[in-house]
Amino acid sequence: MALDERVWKIMQRHLRYTDEEMLKFKANPRNEDVLSKSAALMNTTIILEVVESHGCNSHHKVGDKFYFDGAGNLLTEKCPKKICAFALNSATALIFTVSEMIYAGVDPNTIRFKRTGCFDVGIQCDGWGRIVLEMRVEGNP
C-alpha cells in the first residue's frame, strides 16, 4: 500500500529529518510497511505488571503497573512515582516483541514468554531484591 505523501511529511517533521535524510528514509521499504501499520500501534497500550516482588530497592510491589504506548514510550503519568531503570532494561525486549508482532499482524497477547524481571537475582543468590513483570497489551492491535 502506497502511503499518502502527507504521512511522509508528518514523519519528516516528527523526526526532524532534512530532505536528504527523508529520501534515504523513504528508500527503505521497511519504513513504508511500518508506517502503514502505525494506526494499530497508536491504539495499543503495553502494560507490564509486577507479579512478584521481594526486597526491591525501589519498593515496587505486586500490582504496580508500568504503561507504555504502542511506540514504546513510557506513559509516566500512569506509572508509579519511582521506576527502577534496571526493571525497565529487561522490559525493552518484550516491548520490542509487541511492536514486531503487531507489524506481522499477530496478536501480541499470544506471546508465549511474557514475563521478565530486573536483573538483580535477589537475596537468595547474593543480590538485593527482585521483581517479576508480566506483559499484556490492551487496545486494538
- Which residue ranges make up each domain of the chain? 5-36, 44-139
The answer, yes or no, to whether residue 90 has pLDDT greater than 90, is: no
Q: What is the pLDDT of residue 3?
A: 85
What is the per-residue pLDDT for 140?
67
- What pLDDT is recorded for position 80? 92
Q: How far apart are CA 28 and CA 62, in angstroms?
A: 43
pLDDT over 90 for what percent of the chain? 73
Determine what percent of the chain is predicted with pLDDT higher than 70: 98
| Burial class for 30, CB neighbours closer than 10 Å (0-12, 13-18, 19+) | exposed
pTM strictly above 0.85: yes
Cell numbers representing residue 59 in the block: 519498593
Quickly state the pLDDT bin for 38 (edges 50, 70, 90).
confident
Specify the pLDDT at position 74.
95
Residues 77, 55: Cα–Cα separation, whole Å? 25
pLDDT band at 39 (very low <50, low <70, confident <90, very high): confident
